[in-house]
């Protein structure tokens, strides 16, 4: 490669594709809608009007406009979609943070301390990963009972092994680095080494895992709500709206279509961001 080509290559690496901002803008829109749901929703999400039940999108009567139609109880679908975004995002953010902290901590401890700690942690990880995550979540929710807090706890419980395995593998590569050995030789304890030297070097990989897991948490929450094991009615939830809408696909397609479209767009945007982060953090990726 000639010297003249080097500046061009460096500038190309810093270039951000305009299309890369599309998923960020889409997720920001969902977050804003969730935070400002009481002000953005046209009506109360549980306000019923049986005279206007199962009305198509664009229907208006007596000064009330149903821009996305109404459901089987005459509730405004747009208002319920906006409020339902709060449930999906709260569950996804909370479960990702909780499972990420637990899994990353245990994975780093297993990779650095080795010995009995490594054996115990990784065998527990193998046990959890041997059971399908959705099945484990359904069983746990059925035992603990449905509800927002229980759903967050269950999803964190079922997904922490993914973080632990990645953190374990990353820590094995960092633990033998000269600066880590020097810190241990100078008397630094394991917690300090893990926090100051190991975690900053694996945070990129863990961020990618958390981003991809976020989309799965949204889908798992919707699946549990679809089965009646998530957030309970009358609280608006995209999964519960899908469950209700399946009974009216023939004459009220909008009840299931719009929540499904919201789920599709949110998960797609998160996965696109996760793929972009993976390419940026991977040193083997080409510019």
The string of pLDDT tens digits covering residues 144-175 is: 888 888 889 988 988 999 999 999 999 988 88
In a domain, 54, yes or no: no
Residue 194 inside a domain? The answer is yes
87 in a structural domain: yes
Task: Answer yes or no: is 119 within a domain.
Answer: yes
Question: What pLDDT does residue 177 have?
Answer: 83
Calculate the CA 240 to chain-centre distance.
18
Asked if residue 134 is part of any domain, the answer here is yes
> How would you write 169-205 as a 3-class SS string?
HHHHHHCCCHHHHHHHHCCCCHHHHHHHHHHHHHHHH
Structural tokens at position 253: 């397609």
Mean pLDDT of 245-251: 88
Sequence-separated (6 or more) residues with CB below 8 Å from residue 51: 61, 74
Place of tokens 């982060």: 277
Structural domain includes residue 60: no
User: Is residue 1 in a domain?
Assistant: no
Q: Where are the alpha helices (DSSP H) in the chain?
A: 5-14, 21-35, 37-40, 77-113, 115-129, 133-144, 148-174, 178-185, 190-193, 199-226, 238-245, 254-281
Does 287 fall in a domain? no
Q: What is the CATH number of the domain that holds 260?
A: 1.10.3720.10
User: Structure pTM?
Assistant: 0.84
What pLDDT score does 7 carry? 43
> Higher pLDDT residue, 129 or 15?
129
65: which strand partners?
60
**Structural domains in the chain (count):** 1
> Which residues make beta-bridge pairs with 66?
59
18 band by pLDDT with thresholds 50, 70 and 90:
low
The whole domain housing 168 covers: 22-38+77-281
């Amino acid at each position: 490669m000639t010297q003249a080509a080097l500046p061009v290559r460096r500038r190309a690496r810093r270039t951000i594709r305009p299309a890369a901002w599309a998923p960020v803008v889409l997720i920001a829109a969902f977050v804003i809608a969730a935070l400002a749901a009481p002000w953005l929703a046209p009506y109360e999400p549980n306000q019923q009007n049986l005279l206007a039940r199962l009305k198509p999108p664009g229907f208006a009567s007596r000064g009330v406009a149903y821009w996305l139609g109404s459901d089987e109880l005459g509730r405004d679908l747009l208002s319920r979609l906006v409020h339902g975004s709060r449930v999906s995002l709260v569950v996804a953010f909370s479960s990702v943070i909780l499972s990420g902290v637990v899994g990353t901590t245990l994975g780093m401890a297993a990779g650095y301390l080795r010995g009995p700690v490594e054996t115990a942690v990784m065998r527990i990880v193998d046990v959890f990963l041997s059971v399908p995550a959705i099945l484990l979540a359904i069983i746990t929710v059925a035992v603990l009972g449905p509800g927002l807090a229980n759903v967050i706890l269950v999803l964190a419980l079922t997904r922490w092994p993914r973080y632990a395995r990645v953190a374990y593998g990353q820590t094995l590569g960092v633990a033998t680095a000269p600066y880590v050995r020097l810190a241990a030789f100078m008397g630094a304890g394991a917690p300090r080494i893990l926090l100051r030297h190991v975690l900053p070097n694996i945070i990129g990989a863990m961020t990618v895992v958390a981003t991809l897991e976020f989309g799965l948490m949204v889908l798992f929450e919707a699946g549990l709500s679809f089965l009646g094991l998530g957030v309970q009615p009358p609280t608006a939830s995209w999964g519960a709206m899908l469950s209700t809408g399946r009974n009216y696909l023939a004459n009220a397609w909008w009840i299931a279509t719009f929540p499904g479209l919201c789920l599709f767009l949110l998960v797609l945007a998160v996965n696109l961001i996760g793929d972009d982060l993976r390419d940026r953090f991977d040193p083997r990726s080409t510019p």
